[in-house]
Structure 1
Amino acid sequence: MSTLAFLTDFGVRDWYAAAMKGVARSIAPQAALVDISHHVHQGDIAAASFILSQCWLDFPAGTVFVTVVDPGVGSERAAVALKAEGRYFVGPDNGLFGWLGRKVTRCHRITNEDFFRDNVSHTFHGRDIFTPVGAHLASGQASLEQVGPEHGELVTAPWPKPEYEDDRAFGRILYIDHYGNAITNLQQTALEERYALSGTSVSLHPRRIPLLKTFSDAPAGTALAYFGSGGLLEIAVNGGNAAQQLDLRLDQHVELVLN
């Protein structure tokens, strides 16, 4: 059974996400439909890109990701379908997929209207183009070559790179989840290659937060830093909301300090 996984900024109050699923069911009734999230902040391409990067390899090969965070809908931005690590991605070429880099083995611009919904709207390509193409791919009714010609280099929405010194590393907050945990761009593997991390802390200027293993290692209501399930340094409050309690924000600088 094939899988269609949806990631959008449509929310669940309105009918938009449901309309996409209805179209998918009409084309690929045997496909499993999975919601990654529909709560991406409106037009936040970087957040959608990050969310997708954190979960795509958890899905089986053959999965088709229909990703629609598309503030340029109806403009000249390209619509693309691509393959990486045996999985497929369909959506606008606006930075959503640029992080895949060399993992992309094939990429095609979506131009073949045979795979579109009838009467394509100028403002709802998620329903009328991306979902139908994704469903045709998932059901085996279309190949990448059939959806359109090869597409060149993907647009990138680069994430900030960490900086390293002898006794410290500098990073930024990439994402804040619904628990209020702040996820940074500091990778555990890269840090462990450079430093002995025992006794390390994270500085938010002037606050210092200890680097611990897990939430329960900190007293209830206190802040900690830890390496999350995605291998990135995160900041949390045990039993609380770090973003609120520590006044954290996206792109905020954080500093890992060796004690």
Structure 2
Amino acid sequence: MNLVAFLTDWGLSSYYVSVCKSVIKRINKNADIIDITHSAGHFNIKKYAALILRAARDFEEGTVFLCVVDPTVGSSRKPIALKTSKYNYYFVGPDNGLFTFLMQEFGVKESVELSDNRFFYKTDYSSTFHGRDIFAPVAAYISKGISIDHFGPKTEKLITFDVQKPIIEDNKVICDYLYSDDFGNIETNLSSNYLEHLDIGKEVTVEINGIKEVVRFVKNYSEVKKGELLLHVDSSGFYEVSANQSNAAHKFNLTDDFEGKVKIYLEL
């Protein structure tokens, strides 16, 4: 259980990520730390919640996930650790909705509030750097085999944000736009399980942000012309609107301000 998967919204231009890794190594010198991402924008909890779910599916059972997207650090929001029912994953971070999607997918076996400062890096911990002083050391101790019930009392209820499941009526689908990646691929919450009957090559009308485009449902980008829009199932099993060697988000005038706030309409 020495594997720690690390995700933040801090970027890599400062020392924050390296310091947290150093704290982990001070506690568990055998810890193997894998970076998920630190540079997918700032403060967008729903976007990172989606990224965590997509990444977690490919990690081994028992992985410890250190996840810090924490715009209200130092406020009344609780620092927590949880263990999932499926795969026995551990997640350490703020109780602010960041773990919404993974809790839906994997379930929660146990969750605790991190209150025992014997496991903190500093007992006089910083009010703005819980990543270093609370979350990183707790993740390190879990990676050494310490049960999460050592860190504080059980939590009765964890914070989640409202998630509307995709709506499918006849030949129309309404789903959420979660985020776009660096390629401009438009990521949705529409799992491939919802539309198992959709035939390859079928034309689909996509409406996002008030813009309508007719695209083809294909298996990969190269099945359409360069610059042409397409619909396909991405490597994480979700429907994605993309453009071959171009930027689909730009074609629909999407920016970071729209992430998690826009619906996608598909007419099949």
Interval of TM-score (by shorter of Structure 1 and Structure 2) = over 0.9
The secondary structure found in structure 2 opposite 1:18 is helix
Distance 1:196 1:126 in 2: 44
Distance 1:190 1:217 in 2: 23
Distance 1:30 1:206 in 2: 52
User: What percentage of residue pairs aligned between the two structures are identical?
Assistant: 36
Aligned to 2:93: 91
Aligned to 1:120: 125
- Residue 131 of structure 1, aligned match among 99, 119, 136: 136
Unaligned runs of 5+ in 2: none
Aligned to 2:189: 185
The secondary structure found in structure 1 opposite 2:25 is helix
TM-score (structure 1 length as normaliser): 0.93
Aligned to 2:266: 256
Distance 2:54 2:218 in 1: 22
Q: Check 1:46–1:196 CA distance in 2 against 1; reply closer, same or farther (3 A cut).
A: closer
The secondary structure found in structure 2 opposite 1:207 is strand
The secondary structure found in structure 1 opposite 2:212 is coil
Query: Cα deviation per residue 1:128-152 (whole Å; 9 max; x = unaligned)?
Result: 0000011011012x21111011111
The secondary structure found in structure 2 opposite 1:172 is strand
Distance 1:197 1:161 in 2: 22
Aligned to 1:176: 180
Letter in 1 for 2:61: A
Aligned-residue offset at 1:196: 4.4
Letter in 1 for 2:190: L
Aligned-residue offset at 1:165: 1.4
Distance 2:93 2:198 in 1: 42
Distance 1:93 1:253 in 2: 26
Distance 1:11 1:157 in 2: 24
Indicate the larger mover: 93-102 or 148-157.
Answer: 93-102
Letter in 1 for 2:264: V
Unaligned runs of 5+ in 1: none
TM-score (structure 2 length as normaliser): 0.90
Q: Is the 8 A contact 1:79 1:92 kept in 2?
A: yes
Distance 1:246 1:196 in 2: 23
User: How well do the aligned residues superpose, as a CA RMSD in angstroms?
Assistant: 1.6
Q: Is the 8 A contact 1:200 1:256 kept in 2?
A: no
Q: Does 1:203 align with 2:213?
A: no
Q: Check 1:35–1:76 CA distance in 2 against 1; reply closer, same or farther (3 A cut).
A: same
Runs (4+) of structure 1 exceeding 3 A deviation are 195-198
- Residue 232 of structure 2, aligned match among 226, 232, 242: 226
